[in-house]
Amino acid sequence: MSEPLLLEVRDVSVTFDGFRAINGLNLSLRPGEMRAIVGPNGAGKTTMMDIITGKTRPDTGIVRFRGQDLTRLDEPTIARLGIGRKFQKPTVFEALTVRENILLSLKGIRSPFAVLLARLSGQERDRVDELLEIIRLTRFADHQAGDMSHGQKQWLEIGMLLGQEPELLLVDEPVAGMTDAETMATAELLREINRTRSVVVVEHDMDFVRALGVKVTVLHEGSVLAEGALDEVSAEPRVIEVYLGR
């Protein structure tokens, strides 16, 4: 018997004011898999994430997570089922410290007041330390989040996402605006995260996608143009045509 899928997008379409942004889209993710999604601007990558997370409802088609249909559920319900999303722009609490940001994100945290008064259980403290380590910000734990670099803020937000303990992470263009070193560190970070969680990452940066070393799905005009190893898909004439323009 074949393994059940973690995420299944089947024949999904969505139209905005007569424009078909997603057009018969199909995508399958196995449990534990990390997938990179590439494609030119306007291909529908962000809209695809909007549909998975319940922000946008598809006109037709189905989205299943662990076999459960998501298309009638709202965003908070889908998040509670175990799908976490990171948007392109970091949205950390700038006036709080890095540690406080992580604390506030913890799943099941009793109250924000407990966080700010530092009345935490040992377990909560341990989880925060672990997350700070994963996102490489242990040294900056007591610095104000607003003082972090753009790249560090992105990592902090990934840490805050992990604090929610999602089974599947959706990450939209995490390395935009990062230095080359930060970009490579982010690839390493996502690979680490992928040891215990599934990941769908949208990214333009091909050095980054190469460093991830995972299966790539190329989107174009709202549907899948190609799928496979990066070297395979980037050698396909129709992919080259879309990327080099006509």
Q: Write down the least CB distance from residue 4 to ligand ADP, Å.
A: 28
Q: Write down the least CB distance from residue 154 to ligand ADP, Å.
A: 17
Q: Residue 223, interface with ligand ADP (CB under 6 A)?
A: no
Residue with Cβ nearer ligand ADP (46 or 186)? 46
Q: Write down the least CB distance from residue 70 to Mg ion, Å.
A: 20
Query: What letter would DSSP give residue 2?
Result: P
Residue with Cβ nearer ligand ADP (21 or 98)? 21
Backbone φ and ψ for 40, nearest 5 degrees, come out as -65, 165
Q: Residue 46, interface with Mg ion (CB under 5 A)?
A: yes
Under 8 Å CB-to-CB from 201, ≥6 apart: which residues?
34, 35, 36, 37, 170, 171, 174, 190, 212
**Stretch of 43-51, 106-114, 206-214, 219-227 contacting Mg ion, by CB under 5 A:** 43-51
Q: What are 200's strand-pairing partners? A: 35, 170
Q: Return the sign of the alpha-carbon dihedral for residues 191, 195, 196, 199.
A: positive
Residue with Cβ nearer ligand ADP (42 or 228)? 42
Separation between Cα atoms, residue 27 and residue 217, nearest integer Å: 8
Q: Residue 47, interface with Mg ion (CB under 5 A)?
A: no
Structure tokens at 84: 């976490």
Q: Are 160 and 92 in contact (CB under 8 A)?
A: yes
Of residues 12-71, which lie at the interface with ligand ADP (CB under 6 A)? 16, 21, 39, 41-47
Q: Write down the least CB distance from residue 224 to ligand ADP, Å.
A: 13
Residue count, binding to ligand ADP (CB under 6 A): 10
Query: What letter would DSSP give residue 94?
Result: T
Considering just the CA atoms, what is the radius of gyration of the chain in Å? 19
Q: Write down the least CB distance from residue 7 to ligand ADP, Å.
A: 17
Residues that bind ligand ADP (CB under 6 A): 16, 21, 39, 41-47
